[in-house]
Amino acid sequence: MKTSTAGIAFTKAWEGCKLAAYQDSVGVWTIGYGHTRTAKKGMTITQDQADVLLFEDIAAHEKFIDRYINVTLSQGQYDALSSFVFNLGGGNLQKSTLLKYLNAQDYQAAAKQFDVWVYAGGQKLNGLVKRRADERRMFEHGI
């Protein structure tokens, strides 16, 4: 399974795109659509480069979903998880209660776990509250 066009648009909308490197809310250098792996202070990229990084990052995050989730997912569930992992990383998925519930086929309990992941740097962030609510809605009802 792959992230759908609608799922990619969802992630793009939530991440936003900045062509000059900046530090996110916890001080991590970021560029493009939330790309952190190679971002550094003073870096700039083109829109085309931002798009390439986005698709590379999504592909990398899909590998985590495919590796750790061993139940059947709807496209909406997959897209919601793609956004979740894009934002939080595969390591957080791997150790999450969301994953435990999901692999136990308790989809309702898994959906509720999106609401837990609303903190960055120890602070509850309104933007994360809204994003997780949107991801949960996508997970439960599709796009």
pLDDT above 70 covers what percent of the chain? 99
Q: How far apart, in whole angstroms, are the C-alpha atoms of residue 41 and residue 142?
A: 37
Among 25-29, 31-35, 53-57, 133-137, where is mean pLDDT lowest?
25-29
Give catalytic status of residue 15 as yes or no. Answer: yes
The strand ranges marked E within the chain are 18-23, 29-32, 119-120, 123-124
Instruction: Given CATH 1.10.530.40, say whether it is the number of domain 5-141.
Output: yes
Catalytic residue among 15, 56, 62, 135: 15
Alpha carbon 120 to its chain's center? 14
Q: How confident is the model at residue 142 (pLDDT cuts 50, 70, 90)?
A: confident
Alpha helices in 16-121, H assignment, sequence order: 47-68, 75-88, 90-94, 97-103, 107-112
Sketch the domain layout of the chain as residue ranges. Answer: 5-141
